[in-house]
Structure 1
Amino acid sequence: MPPFMHSSKQHVPPIAIRPPPHLDFCVGHPGVPASRPRLVGTVEIRSPGKILSISHVTIALHRYESIHPPSAASLSSLKREYSIIVGQEVLVFQAPGGHADVVAMDLPFELPFSTSHLDNPPPSVSLANGMCETSYQLVAVLYPSKGSIIKFGMPVKIERFDLLSTWGMYNQPQTKAVDGSDHLITMEVALPKTCIGPGDPLIAYIKLCPNPDWSKSRKIRISKLQSILEEIITFKLEKGEEITRRRKILKDEFDLYDLKLPAAGFIRDISCVFPSQLRLKRSPSGLKMNLTDCSATPSLVGITTQAALFSVEYTITVKAILLRAKDISVTQAITVCPLDRSACLKAMSDIDDAVRQARISENRPKELPQSHIVTMVTNTPGKRILVE
């Protein structure tokens, strides 16, 4: 959603929202409460050559979401938009007595993020040719003592640092076993790592065991092993209805040339590399790797996210193509991080520094920089002077 704009016909003073010098608006790391994530900056109001009578000024973080499901090409009614204030609107100026005649104002602000993991805002994303988007704006609102309110919006990017693939919680092995529909074979797949980013290897350990109670299981042969990485976008429509869009990000095949399944079982690990950019290429093993086109921004191959109007999830499916038995597959959920490993390691170092700084300042009084306000006051009858 575009920022609030002002018409030149209104002759209103310009309003700006600026971050601290040489810094971003976002301080700390959203998704990591120990780093005390927050948005800081200054609301600037300038009225050169004109006096502005102001009642109060507020600022808030607004979240905007939009979806346009692929099946809605001719059904615009399926397109939905959603907006909400994240946290609370903060009063940065209140005129004593109800109004103040102002020429210029610099009003510092701080908007903290929730310390609850469930209340953390989803990251800024734009996926699938704009089919689903989440964006944010800092919105300052100036309330004059008379006349219409004045709004100004500044886009900000919100990231989620609890999605980094280098967190230890993603190094817990995840195992799932499935019995074949014909009861002739059992397949077990273990993922040593459950979060990946661009360029990361995706490894799966596979175990195929024949059912010893069935003589037919002795004749089973393994033709191929497949690994399929799939993106699942769920669009949430009105009245609880949903539309799901599935897209294959990666497909890799391993030919076993009709290998006979041993009585003791078959064990094999397979790996493929999550694409750093989506184009046709070959895996390190020399096997053909089919990659679909990515419609996200060039730096965003994929990301796991949950928003009000949509969700983006990823699954890895390992499938065994068999002879003399029905094919069998195991599907498991994984988390996709938009950053590669080197960027994740750099972010982890920055998080450590931010957490240390947050602990040092934890017991200190939290004070914002002083506001600077230039007003007009009457000194002698018929004469006004500037006062800061």
Structure 2
Amino acid sequence: MADKVSASVRVSGPPNSSFLVGYPGISATLPRIEGKVEIRPEQGYTAPVAISLVRICLQRRETIHPAAENVAKRHLGTPRRDATDLVGKELLLYRCATGRETESVMAMDLPFVLFIPFGRGGEETNRRIPPASLQLPSRTAETYYELVVTVQQGQWAKKVAFPVPLQRYDTLSTFGMYNRPETKVATVDSIVTLGISLPRWSYGPTDPITVYIKLAPNLDWMAKARKVTINKLTLAIEEEITYNPEGDEPTKKVNRLHKQVQTVNTKLPEAGYVTNMGVVFPHKDPRDSNGIVRRAPPAFPNYAVTSFTTSSTLYKIEFFLSIKAHLTSARDITLRQPIVICPMDHQACKEEMDAIEQAAKDASSIDPHNPMLPARHIVLASDPNALATLGLCMVGGQKKPLIE
């Protein structure tokens, strides 16, 4: 009986390329997932499969478990939380003829294109740009995506999930908006002012970060300012993870990734003290102890950083440069400047720019409301040449290989 045969489901991408076409985060490239759903009988490839309908969607799955880093807390702390969201819309790829419960199918190839949202969308979750796939150490937080195909076979449905890694490209350090200098000023007791200037504010693994620092006395309080000694300056890169940022009780965790100290031991001059400090953003070596780069898990890309700037429903990761002036005869001044961390270094971002430009040109001819898909290919059991499409023919009541 056809309805007893389970369907074998496979999703294949375009020839010689991945499922993902375009650049998520860059609307001009119309980011989308292209491919086709292939359905065949699971056992005995000449037995037809009963199919009622076929649907496909992109699903985002997120989990957080802030206590996972600590063995004791893992058992005693809050349990793992998870959330599943639909990204964009679900597509109906096939429905059998009206009035019939199922259609007996020998083979089925259903092309599809799923557009990934690229609008900010405010409160509308399904219109927001989806965050990049990421798994933090000890799985304290993770985001991953799956293509979920639902095949309805009469009374029962079969769901098959295929992991799809998804990256974001709107934080590339080569974009002009990140290459404008950022300045910030802070004072604690009005005697000394700490000012900083950053030439740019998006960085990737192994990118140098240079900060221009100026300590200036308050000219109205010069009698007090002359007594001030600058002991040292410290520069630190901090990663701040907020778990459950949109919930009732958000929790924050700050990790110091790198710290540099510059010893000064100088009286504060009347003209002020000017210097610059530089650090290199730490990178994660993808090689193991034998020097082998292991294949990334199917749902997560291989990143050269442990984490990067991202914002999701259950967690948010931000980065700051923390500059502290250690003073005598005045209170210490600390200044925190937000920066953006991109998963790619500056050179890799440069190399990606031409491809992004080309993807935008390719996307300009696509109508998202009518994306002109290839024709679907369906072979029904009742078709006169149904067996021929499987490379077989009937000879004397037996199935034999078809020799043309």
* C-alpha distance 102-364 of structure 1, shift in aligned 2 (>3 A): closer
Counterpart AA for 1:104: A
Residues 1:27 and 2:54 are matched in the alignment? no
Map 1:278-293 to 2 at 5 A: none
The 5 A counterparts of 1:1-388 are 12-47=6-41, 48-70=45-67, 72-75=73-76, 77-97=78-98, 98=100, 99-118=102-121, 119-144=128-153, 146-180=154-188, 182-214=189-221, 215-236=223-244, 240-256=248-264, 258-277=265-284, 299-361=304-366, 366-377=371-382, 386=387
Residue 174 to residue 134, structure 1, CA distance change in 2 (3 Å):
same
State the 1:302 CA deviation: 2.5
RMSD over aligned Cα atoms:
2.4
C-alpha change, 1:51 and 1:187, in structure 2 (3 Å) is same
Shift, 1:139, TM fit: 0.5
Contact 1:60 1:111 (C-alpha < 8 Å) held by counterparts:
yes
SS of structure 2 residue aligned to 1:14: strand
Q: Helix, strand or coil: the match of 1:219? A: coil
Does the aligned pair in 1 maintain the 2:87–2:117 contact within 8 Å?
A: no
Q: CA deviation at 1:299?
A: 2.6
Letter in structure 2 aligned against 1:143: Q
Report SS of the residue matched to 1:353.
helix
Note if contact 1:50-1:103 (Cα within 8 Å) is conserved in structure 2. Answer: yes
Tell me: CA distance 1:22–1:301, structure 2 relative to 1, closer, same or farther (3 Å). same
Q: Is the 8 A contact 1:275 1:301 kept in 2?
A: no
Contact 2:246 2:313 in 1 (8 A): no
Post-superposition offset of 1:101:
1.0
Confirm or deny: 8 A CA contact 1:224 1:322 kept in the other structure: yes
- Normalising by structure 2, what TM-score? 0.83
* Residue identity opposite 1:20 in structure 2: P
Question: What amino acid sits opposite 1:111 in the alignment?
Answer: L
Kept in 2: contact 1:127–1:297 (CA 8 A): no
* Structure 2 residues without counterparts, runs of 5 or longer: 122-127, 286-300, 390-404
Q: Give ranges in structure 1 of 5+ residues lacking alignment.
A: 1-9, 279-295
Aligned partner letter, 2:190: H
Structure 2: distance between partners of 1:227 and 1:66:
33
Structure 2 counterpart of 1:120, which letter?
Answer: I
Given that 1:186 and 1:209 are in contact with CA atoms closer than 8 Å, whether structure 2 keeps it comes out as: yes
Q: SS of the residue aligned with 1:377?
A: coil
Structure 1 length normalisation: TM-score? 0.86
CA–CA separation in structure 2 for the residues paired with 1:196 and 1:333: 12
Give 1:211's aligned amino acid: N
> Cα 1:222–1:237, aligned 2, differ >3 Å: closer, same or farther?
closer
Partner of 1:286: none
Task: Answer 1 or 2: which has greater strand percent.
Answer: 1
> 2:231 is aligned with what amino acid?
S
